[in-house]
A and B are shown apart, each in its own frame.
Chain A
Amino acid sequence: MSFKRLIPFLVLVLGALYLASPFFKKSKSDFDLDAFGKIPVVANGRTKPLDSVARNTLLLLQGRQRVTTPEGAKLTPNEWLLDVFFRPELADTYRHFEVVHPGVLDVLGLTPEDGDGKKRFAYTQLVGKLEEIDRQAELAAGVEAPVRTSYQRAVLNLRSHVILYQQLKHSAVVPDGSDFLADLLRLNDNVGPAIEAVRARASGKETDADLAAFTMSLGSKFMRMEQVGILLMIPPPAGAPADAPWIKTGQSLLATFENGSVNVHALTFAGLQQTRKSRQAEQFNTLLSKHRAESENVYPAVLKKTDAEARFNQAEPFYTSMTLYVVAFLLAAFSWLKWPEPLQRSAYYLILLAFVATTAGILTRMWLEGRPPVTNLYSSALFVGWGCVGLCLILEKIYKNGIGSVAAGLTGFCTLLIAHHLSLSGDTLEMMRAVLDSNFWLATHVIIITIGYSATYLAGFLAIIYVFRGVFTRSLDKATADTLNRMVYGIICFATLFSLVGTILGGIWADQSWGRFWGWDPKENGALIIVIWNAIILHARWGGLARTRGIMALAIFGNIVTSWSWFGTNMLGVGLHSYGFMDAAFVALTVFVATQLALIALTYIPREKWRSAAALK
C-alpha cells in the first residue's frame, strides 16, 4: 500500500481523535470542578447545570468563555463561577465586563488601555460609577427600543450585565465575606430560641440580646439574597408533587424560621464556600459527592438531562466541527491542484466526521429541549449548515470531484461561525414563547423552510466555486463546468420545492393560529422572495434567458436574497432608519452583500480574460 493511499485513513483517525479530545482534558485543580458544574439549577425557566450558567453568563458578559485573573492564571467557566459564588472579593477583580462604546467608557472615566485586551473591565473598576450607570440607563430606558442610539443600547447592556453579576453573587451564599456556614449552623441549632429572642425584643421583654441581633441581621441577609439572587438553586423536597417549583436559596433560608431547620442544600452551598476558601479540596469533593448521592435519590430524571448538557458543553461539537470544516475545505481545494484522489477522499472523511459530530450535537439539543431542531435564530444557523453539508455529502458521493467537500467546508464553517456569534446573546436553549409553542409546526414548516435556505445558499456557494475556479485558476475545464451547471440546477430545483412548500405551510400555520393565511409580515415576505427568486432562476433557464454564467450570477444573488430573509427582516423589526447601522450584525450583512455583488461582477468579466478560458473551450 502506498503512502498516498494511506493518507485518507490517517486523516480520518486524526480527525476522530481531535473530535474526542475535549473528553480527555484533565482538570488541573484538586477541587472536583466537573461535579460542581453538574449541580442542577433553574434559570431562564429551565433546569440546567451550573456549567451552562457559567458559560452562558461569560459569553453574555464578554463574548468568550475564558477568564484571566489579574495574576495571569486562566480560569475555566466553572472555576470562575465558583469564585463569583464563594469568593466574590476575588471575582470582583476579574476583568469580565466587555465595554467598547467610547461614550460609555467616558461615563465610567476609563480608557481602553485600562482594560484587559483594551475592552474588558473588572467590577472594581466600575463600582464607583454604579449610580451614574444606573442614571444613564434610566435615561436610555425612557427611549423606545427601536430608536435607541448605540450609546443608549450599550449603557443599558452594561447595566443589565452588572445586575446579572450581582444576581449571581447572591444566588448561593451571602456575598459579604462573613463566615456564612458558621452563621447557618448556629441558627440551625437555635431556631426556636432565635425566634423567641426576636419576638421578645420586639415586645420589649428581656431576652438574649446577642441572639436577637444575630437573628435579625441574618434574616435581613436572607431577605437580600431572596430579593437579589436569580438562580433557583433549591429543589423541591423529596416527596413533593412533580410540578413543585424550585426556589431561590434566599427564599429557602427565610423559610427556616417556619420549618425549624436550615435547608440541606443551602447548608451544602455554605459548606462548599467554607471548604473552597480554606482550600480543603478533599472536604469540598466529599460534600459534593454527598449532595450528588442525595440528589440522585430524589430527582434522577433531572440529573440525567443536566449531566448530558454538561457533557455536551464540554464536548463542544460545534466548535471542533468548525476546525474540521476548515481543514476539509483546504484539503479539497488543494486537491484541484495536486493529488486529487487522496486529498478529496481525506476531505470527504473529515466532512463526514464533522457532519456526524454536528448531527449528534443537534440531536442532543433536541433531546434536552424536547423540541424539533429549529427553535430560534441560533438553532436555525446550526440547521442551515447541517442541511448544506448533508446536501454536499450527497453531491460528493455522486460526483467525487471535491466540489461537494469544498462547498461543505465553506458553508459548514460559515454557518457555525454565525451560530457562534448568535450564541453571545445568552442561553441558546431558551424556552419557547407561547406564540411559537407548537411542535407540529416547528417540525414541519420551520424545518422545511430552513432546508430551503440551506439549498438556496448551497446553490449560491456552488456558483461561487464556479466563478472562482474559472476566473482565478486553470482548473475549470468544460466537463467540470457542465457538472457545476447541473449541480446548481439540481440544487435550485430542490430549493424551490422546499422553500415553496415551507412558505405555504407557514401560511397554513398562520391560518391555524391567527386566522389569516398571509399577513405580509417581514418574515413572510422574506420567505416569499426566496421562492420567487428561485422561480425566476428556473424560468430564466427554461426560457433560455440565462445561460450558464447568467444562472451562476443569479444563484450568487440568491445568497443575498436568503440572507435578507434570514437576518435582514429581523433587523427591520427593531427599526432600520435610526438604529441598525451601528449594529455589528447589520455591518456583517452589508459586507456580505457587497462581497456577493463583487462576485457577480466577477462573473461578467469576459470569458476570454478568465484563467480557465483555454480549458473551457
Chain B
Amino acid sequence: MSDLRQSFITFFTSLRVTVVLLALSIILIFVATLDQVNLGIWAVQEKYFRTFFVLWDIKGFPVPVFPGGYFIGGLLLVNLVASHVYRFKFAWKKSGIQLTHAGLIVLLVGELLTGLWQEEYQLRLDEGQSRNYSESYLFNELAVIDATDADWDQVVAIPEKQLKTGRDPIQHERLPFRIATRAYYPNAAVQLREELGNQSAPAPATRDIGARLAIIPMPMTYKQNERNLPAAVIELLGPNNVSLGTWVVSTMLVQPQTFDYAGRTFRIAMRFERTYKPYSVTLLDFTHDRYLGTEIPKNFASKVRLHSEDGTTDREVLIYMNNPLRYDGLTFYQAGFDNNDRTTILQVVRNPSWLLPYIACILMGLGLTVQFGIHLFAFVSKRRASA
C-alpha cells in the first residue's frame, strides 16, 4: 500500500510530469487559437478550455482526442501542490521559487473560479433611454408576460434551451396554459411572405403575425460580432390539450405579440435573456471623437445617470475606454456603439474572483525577482572573487 502511495507521490511531484503537462498545454492553446478562426472565441473556450477532454466529432460520435483545459490545469495544480507539500523545505535560496509557485496556484484557482462564476451581459441604450436590466449576448429566452394589470407585468421567462423540440410541453404554475415547441431553429431569419413572393407556401403558424411569415433557417454563426437569432413555432395548450393556436416567436420580432385568454391579457416574445437590477441606467449622452480629418476613433464615452430603486444612489457617471463604472459587484465597460453614435453598448460583467489575479501577479513577480536576484547576486560575487 505504502509502495503504491509512494509511487503516486513520486509521479505527481516529478518535474518530468510538469514539463509534459506544460508542453501539452502549449499544444492545447496553440490549436485552440487556430480554431478560433472557425469557431469564434466563445465556442473555443467551451470546446478546449472549460472541459476535461477535447471532443472531436468522428462520424457523429464525440471522441475525446486531447486532454482539455480542466484536465491539464487540474493535473498541473495537483503537481504543484504535491511538490510543495512533499518537497517543501524552507530555505532562503528557494524562497523566490516558492513564492512564484504559490502565485501560480492562486492564478490557476482564480481562473477556475472565473470560469465557474463569471457572468457577462450587454446593456444597449439609446440616448435618453433608461433600462433596469441587462441582456445576455449568448442566451435567449421566451418571455410570457401577463399584462392584465395596467400597473405591473408578471413575467415568466423560459430559457431558450428548454424550447428545443422533443421535450414535453412546458408547464408553469403562473400560466394557465402549457407551451409546446412545434419547431425550433437555433439561427433563422423571419420575413413576411408577401415580401418573399411565395404566399402560397404553408404558414408556419396560425396566430398573429406568424400566419404571414416565413422562417428561413440559417447556419449557426460563431463570429465574434454576430449572434445567433433563434426562432421557434410554439403551440399553447389549454386544459385537456385544447390548442389555442400556434405562434412564431423570434428574436428578430422586436414587438411582443398580444392575445387574450381566460379573461387575461398576455404578451409573448422571444428576446435576449434579461437580468433585472434594483437600479436603472439612463444614457444622457454618447460621444465618439475622431482624430482630425480621419475616421480613427479617439475616444468613446457614455455619460449615464445611475439611479437605484432604494433612493440611495442618484448620480451621473462618465464611462469611457479604460475607465469603467464599478457598482453593485458589476463592472460596466464601454464596449461599442451603434445607430450613428446615438446608441451605446456597455458590457456588464460580474466576476467575484477578480482580485485573485492581482494577488497572483504580485506573488509571482516578487518571487521571480527575488529568485533571479539571488542568482545574479551569486553570479556577480563569484566573478568578483575570481577576478
**Which A residues fall within an 8 A CB radius of B?**
42-46, 230, 232, 245-246, 398, 430-431, 433-435, 437-438, 441, 490, 493-494, 496-497, 500-501, 504-505, 507-508, 511-522, 525-526, 528-529, 532-533, 535-536, 539-540, 542-543, 545, 561, 564, 569, 572, 575-577
Q: Is the CB–CB distance between A519 and B33 below 8 Å? A: no
Q: Is the CB–CB distance between B354 and A572 below 8 Å? A: no
Given contacts A540-B15, A542-B15, 11 further A-B contacts (CB under 8 A): A44-B296, A45-B292, A46-B291, A500-B368, A501-B365, A504-B357, A505-B361, A514-B349, A518-B357, A532-B26, A577-B37
7 intermolecular pairs with C-beta atoms under 8 Å apart? A43-B293, A245-B292, A246-B292, A516-B349, A520-B44, A520-B49, A543-B16
Q: How distant is B370 from chain A, measured CB to nearest CB, in Å?
A: 10
Q: How distant is A105 from chain B, measured CB to nearest CB, in Å?
A: 31
B291 contacts across to A, CB distance below 8 A: 44-46, 431
CA of A507 to CA of B351, assembled, Å: 14
6 closest pairs, A vs B, by CB?
Answer: A45-B291, A543-B15, A515-B349, A504-B361, A497-B368, A45-B294
Q: Residues 293-318 of chain B: 1 if any A CB is under 8 Å from the residue's CB, otherwise 0?
A: 11011111000000000000000000
Q: Is the CB–CB distance between A511 and B333 below 8 Å? A: no
Q: Is the CB–CB distance between A515 and B357 below 8 Å? A: no
- At the interface, yes or no: B375 with Cβ under 8 Å from chain A? yes
Shortest Cβ distance from A575 into B: residue: B37
Q: Is the CB–CB distance between B368 and A42 below 8 Å? A: no
A493 contacts across to B, CB distance below 8 A: 371-372, 375
- At the interface, yes or no: B385 with Cβ under 8 Å from chain A? no
CA of A494 to CA of B335, assembled, Å: 36
Q: Is the CB–CB distance between B368 and A529 below 8 Å? A: no
Q: Is the CB–CB distance between B364 and A500 below 8 Å? A: yes
A43 contacts across to B, CB distance below 8 A: 293
Shortest Cβ distance from B14 into A: residue: A543
CA of A106 to CA of B206, assembled, Å: 58
B357 contacts across to A, CB distance below 8 A: 504, 507-508, 511, 517-518
Q: Is the CB–CB distance between B33 and A536 below 8 Å? A: no
CA of A395 to CA of B238, assembled, Å: 83
Using A493-B372, A515-B333, A520-B32 as known contacts, say yes or no to A434 and B300 having CB atoms under 8 A apart: yes
- At the interface, yes or no: B22 with Cβ under 8 Å from chain A? yes
Q: How distant is B293 from chain A, measured CB to nearest CB, in Å?
A: 5
| B1-38, CB < 8 A from A | 14-16, 18-19, 22-23, 25-26, 29-30, 32-34, 36-38
Q: Residues 121-154 of chain B: 1 if any A CB is under 8 Å from the residue's CB, otherwise 0?
A: 0000000000000000000000000000000000
Q: Is the CB–CB distance between B37 and A512 below 8 Å? A: no
Name the contact of A517 in the complex, choosing from B26, B110, B290 (C-beta under 8 A): B110
CA of A398 to CA of B348, assembled, Å: 53
Q: Is the CB–CB distance between A513 and B321 below 8 Å? A: yes
Q: Residues 45-78 of chain B: 1 if any A CB is under 8 Å from the residue's CB, otherwise 0?
A: 1000100000000000000000000000000000
B33 contacts across to A, CB distance below 8 A: 520, 522, 525-526, 569, 572
**Which of B111, B322, B348: most chain A Cβ within 10 A?**
B322
Q: Is the CB–CB distance between B358 and A508 below 8 Å? A: yes
Name the contact of A504 in the complex, choosing from B49, B114, B293, B360 (C-beta under 8 A): B360
Q: How distant is A225 from chain B, measured CB to nearest CB, in Å?
A: 14
Q: Is the CB–CB distance between B294 and A44 below 8 Å? A: yes
Q: Is the CB–CB distance between B15 and A520 below 8 Å? A: no
Q: Is the CB–CB distance between B45 and A520 below 8 Å? A: yes
B298 contacts across to A, CB distance below 8 A: 45, 431, 434, 437
Q: How distant is B151 from chain A, measured CB to nearest CB, in Å?
A: 36
- At the interface, yes or no: B275 with Cβ under 8 Å from chain A? no
Q: Is the CB–CB distance between B322 and A515 below 8 Å? A: no
Name the contact of B354 in the complex, choosing from A505, A517, A520 (C-beta under 8 A): A517
CA of A434 to CA of B321, assembled, Å: 7
- At the interface, yes or no: B379 with Cβ under 8 Å from chain A? yes
- At the interface, yes or no: B255 with Cβ under 8 Å from chain A? no
Q: Is the CB–CB distance between A515 and B360 below 8 Å? A: no
Name the contact of A529 in the complex, choosing from B29, B44, B111, B297 (C-beta under 8 A): B29
Q: How distant is B136 from chain A, measured CB to nearest CB, in Å?
A: 15
B324 contacts across to A, CB distance below 8 A: 512-513, 515
CA of A505 to CA of B365, assembled, Å: 10
Q: Is the CB–CB distance between B354 and A536 below 8 Å? A: no
Using A441-B322, A520-B41 as known contacts, say yes or no to A45 and B118 having CB atoms under 8 A apart: no
A575 contacts across to B, CB distance below 8 A: 37
B368 contacts across to A, CB distance below 8 A: 496-497, 500-501
Q: Is the CB–CB distance between A437 and B16 below 8 Å? A: no
Name the contact of A536 in the complex, choosing from B23, B297, B364 (C-beta under 8 A): B23
Shortest Cβ distance from A502 into B: residue: B365
B89 contacts across to A, CB distance below 8 A: none
**Which B residues fall within an 8 A CB radius of A?**
14-16, 18-19, 22-23, 25-26, 29-30, 32-34, 36-38, 41, 44-45, 49, 107, 110-111, 114, 118, 120, 290-294, 296-300, 321-322, 324, 331, 333, 335, 347-349, 351, 354, 357-358, 360-361, 364-365, 368-369, 371-372, 375-376, 379, 383
Shortest Cβ distance from A513 into B: residue: B322
Q: Is the CB–CB distance between A45 and B36 below 8 Å? A: no
Q: Is the CB–CB distance between B19 and A536 below 8 Å? A: yes
Q: Is the CB–CB distance between A519 and B297 below 8 Å? A: no
CA of A528 to CA of B69, assembled, Å: 14
Using A42-B293, A520-B44 as known contacts, say yes or no to A490 and B379 having CB atoms under 8 A apart: yes
**Which of B33, B296, B333: most chain A Cβ within 10 A?**
B33
CA of A539 to CA of B335, assembled, Å: 40
B383 contacts across to A, CB distance below 8 A: 398
Q: How distant is B221 from chain A, measured CB to nearest CB, in Å?
A: 13
CA of A577 to CA of B290, assembled, Å: 33
Using A46-B291, A504-B361 as known contacts, say yes or no to A438 and B322 having CB atoms under 8 A apart: yes
CA of A521 to CA of B114, assembled, Å: 16
A516 contacts across to B, CB distance below 8 A: 114, 118, 120, 349, 351
**Which of B26, B120, B299, B371: most chain A Cβ within 10 A?**
B26
Name the contact of A535 in the complex, choosing from B14, B22, B296, B333 (C-beta under 8 A): B22
B379 contacts across to A, CB distance below 8 A: 490
Q: Is the CB–CB distance between A545 and B16 below 8 Å? A: yes
CA of A53 to CA of B64, assembled, Å: 56
Shortest Cβ distance from A540 into B: residue: B19
Q: How distant is A368 from chain B, measured CB to nearest CB, in Å?
A: 15
CA of A485 to CA of B321, assembled, Å: 46
Shortest Cβ distance from B368 into A: residue: A497
Q: How distant is A490 from chain B, measured CB to nearest CB, in Å?
A: 7
CA of A520 to CA of B115, assembled, Å: 12
B36 contacts across to A, CB distance below 8 A: 522, 572
Name the contact of B22 in the complex, choosing from A490, A532, A564 (C-beta under 8 A): A532
CA of A513 to CA of B346, assembled, Å: 12
Q: Is the CB–CB distance between B19 and A539 below 8 Å? A: yes
Using A434-B300, A497-B372, A520-B41 as known contacts, say yes or no to A529 and B26 having CB atoms under 8 A apart: yes
A513 contacts across to B, CB distance below 8 A: 321-322, 324, 333
Q: How distant is B42 from chain A, measured CB to nearest CB, in Å?
A: 9
Shortest Cβ distance from B357 into A: residue: A517
B22 contacts across to A, CB distance below 8 A: 532, 535-536, 539
CA of A212 to CA of B241, assembled, Å: 84
Q: Is the CB–CB distance between A529 and B30 below 8 Å? A: yes
A569 contacts across to B, CB distance below 8 A: 33
Using A501-B365, A520-B32 as known contacts, say yes or no to A572 and B37 having CB atoms under 8 A apart: yes
Q: Is the CB–CB distance between B322 and A525 below 8 Å? A: no
B110 contacts across to A, CB distance below 8 A: 517
A431 contacts across to B, CB distance below 8 A: 291, 294, 296, 298
B354 contacts across to A, CB distance below 8 A: 511, 517
Q: Is the CB–CB distance between A512 and B322 below 8 Å? A: yes
CA of A543 to CA of B361, assembled, Å: 25
Shortest Cβ distance from A146 into B: residue: B37
CA of A513 to CA of B320, assembled, Å: 9
Q: How distant is A317 from chain B, measured CB to nearest CB, in Å?
A: 27
**Which of A507, A533, A561: most chain B Cβ within 10 A?**
A507
Q: Is the CB–CB distance between B293 and A45 below 8 Å? A: yes
Q: Is the CB–CB distance between B351 and A518 below 8 Å? A: no
